[in-house]
């Protein structure tokens, strides 16, 4: 009974800090996550980049070259926005960032094609933005294959082949692609679901470390411990249950939004999402507490080595992502990724090992800015 009243006392104390005393908690727990969700879901709303600006250098000016360009313009991911007089001009435009790719059709292409003298065309694309570069190159590749096929088709139909025969002759083996759980190949489904939880996990870990650091910085650790009856377990649980509940609420709202409103794929169903979220929150907070007391007892959060900060979120995030893609996205049985589940549980339990250290720090630590 005594523990329960102490526990609630700590909960109220933490609520007071979060709501009234230090506004950064409100920002990091509610405002920033909401902004992040809005940012990523609106930014990647198209799913795939569409109408990428592409230039053409057409020295042939024939019906064939024009039809190639028209076909390119009609592709979903590309749009022909410039016609350049020379390749140099096209390369300059690429360096100025006006186009991501250009197609070069030299003089005499159509004539050589008709005469069976194997003409060359070239397409150039920049890989400094990989998404744009690979999308544009895919469209350009398709266009040039269609150009080849058009010739074959004309020859074969002149020889009197049936449609069936032409199709087989041009492409004897076809690929029937099944893009499991993300049939549109949408980047929104694959990037939003990594970056938003990733940054949230980083926030959870940093904020739990920050909260301990602040107790040391303002020398309020003794009072905190005293109110928990000098029981470090009650103190930690009471303090972080508030963080955990707020973050759970935020993450469940985020998931409601992406899975129910935006209809992101989730073959794993509700239970896998709930289980993963609980683990995600617990592991991140556990890791944060552990990290600050390992790295932060000499100097507080701010002094932590940033690569280490990067690492500290990389580790639980890695396991989160493995679990996410296996159980939520693809709906595979959790037993196949049991290791990552155990890892997250282990992160949750990490603070157990440093409880004594935290207690000592709270009682003795002096903050030097």
Partner 1 sequence: MSIFRKLKEHITDVLYVWRQEMKQVIRDEGVLMFLVIVPLGYPLLYSWIYNNETLHETPVVVVDQSHSALSRQFINDCDATPDVDVKYYAADLDEARALVSRQLAKGIYLIPSDFATCINRGEQATVSVYCDMSLMLAYKAVYQTAMVEAGRLSAGLKIKKAGNYTDHENSITAQPLIAHDVAMFNPSGGYGSCVLPAVLMLLLQQALALGIGMSAGTARERNRNGQLIPDDDPHYRGAYRVAWGKALCYGMIGAVAAAYLSMAVPRMFSFPQLADGKTLLAMLLPYTMACIFFGMTVSCLVRYRENVMLLMVFVSIPLLFLTGVSWPQSSIPGAWQGVSWLFPSTFGVRAFIRVNSMGASVSQILPEIRILWIQAAAYLGMACIVYAYQKRLARKHVKTVTNSTDLIEPDDQ
DSSP string, 34-55: HHHHHHHHHHTTTSS--SEEEE
- Mask 302-321, x = binds partner 1 (CB under 8 A)? xx-xxx-xx-----------
Stretch that binds partner 1, among 226-234, 242-250, 268-276, 329-337 (CB under 8 A): 329-337
Binder among 8, 12, 15, 50 for partner 1 (CB under 8 A):
50
Q: C-beta of 7: minimal distance to partner 1 in Å?
A: 21
Beta bridge partners of 86: none
Q: C-beta of 259: minimal distance to partner 1 in Å?
A: 16
User: Within 13 A of 80's CA, how many CA atoms are on the CB side?
Assistant: 21
Q: C-beta of 365: minimal distance to partner 1 in Å?
A: 14
Cβ contact 362:215 at 8 Å: yes
Q: How far apart are CA 16 and CA 18, in angstroms?
A: 6
Sheet holding 52-58: strands in order across? 78-83, 52-58, 101-105
**85 contact partners, CB below 8 Å, separation of at least 6:** 57
167 is a contact residue toward partner 1 (CB under 8 A): yes
Q: Hey, which residues between 177 and 236 contact partner 1 (CB under 8 A)?
A: 177-182, 185, 187, 189-190, 195, 199, 202-203, 206-207, 210, 213-214, 217-220
CA distances from 333 to 258, 318, 324, 325, 364 (A): 22, 18, 12, 11, 48
38: tokens are 């809005």
134 is a contact residue toward partner 1 (CB under 8 A): yes
By C-alpha distance, which of 73, 69, 43, 51 is closest to 132? 51
Stretch that binds partner 1, among 92-100, 230-238, 248-256, 282-290 (CB under 8 A): 92-100
Q: Hey, which residues between 18 and 47 contact partner 1 (CB under 8 A)?
A: 20-24, 27-28, 32, 36, 39-40, 42-46
Q: C-beta of 213: minimal distance to partner 1 in Å?
A: 7
Binder among 1, 63, 158, 175 for partner 1 (CB under 8 A):
175
């Amino acid at each position: 009974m005594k523990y329960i009243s102490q526990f609630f006392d700590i909960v109220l104390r933490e609520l007071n800090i979060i709501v009234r005393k230090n506004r950064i908690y409100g920002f990091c727990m509610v405002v920033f996550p909401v902004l992040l969700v809005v940012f990523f879901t609106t930014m990647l709303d198209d799913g795939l980049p569409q109408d990428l600006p592409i230039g053409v250098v057409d020295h042939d000016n024939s019906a064939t070259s024009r039809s190639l360009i028209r076909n390119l313009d009609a592709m979903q991911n590309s749009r022909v926005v410039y016609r350049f007089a020379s390749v140099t001009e096209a390369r300059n435009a690429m360096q100025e960032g006006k186009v991501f790719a250009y197609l070069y059709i030299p003089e005499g292409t159509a004539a050589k094609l008709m005469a069976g003298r194997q003409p060359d065309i070239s397409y150039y694309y920049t890989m400094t933005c990989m998404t744009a570069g690979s999308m544009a190159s895919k469209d350009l590749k398709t266009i040039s294959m269609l150009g080849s096929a058009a010739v074959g088709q004309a020859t074969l139909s002149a020889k009197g082949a049936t449609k069936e025969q032409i199709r087989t002759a041009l492409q004897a083996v076809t690929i029937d692609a099944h893009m499991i759980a993300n049939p549109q190949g949408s980047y929104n489904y694959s990037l939003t679901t990594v970056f938003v939880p990733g940054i949230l996990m980083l926030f959870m870990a940093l904020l739990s470390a920050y909260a301990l650091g602040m107790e040391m910085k303002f020398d309020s650790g003794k009072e905190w411990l005293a109110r928990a009856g000098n029981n470090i377990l009650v103190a930690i649980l009471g303090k972080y249950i508030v963080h955990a509940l707020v973050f759970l609420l935020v993450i469940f709202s985020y998931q409601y939004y992406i899975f129910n409103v935006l209809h992101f794929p989730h073959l794993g169903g509700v239970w896998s999402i709930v289980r993963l979220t609980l683990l995600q929150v617990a592991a991140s907070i556990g890791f944060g507490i552990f990290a600050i007391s390992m790295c932060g007892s000499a100097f507080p959060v701010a002094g932590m080595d940033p690569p280490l900060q990067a690492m500290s979120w990389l580790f639980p995030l890695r396991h989160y992502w493995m679990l996410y893609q296996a159980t939520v996205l693809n709906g595979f049985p959790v037993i196949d990724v049991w290791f990552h589940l155990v890892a997250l549980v282990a992160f949750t339990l990490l603070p157990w090992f440093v409880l004594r250290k935290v207690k000592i720090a709270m009682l003795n630590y002096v903050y030097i800015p």
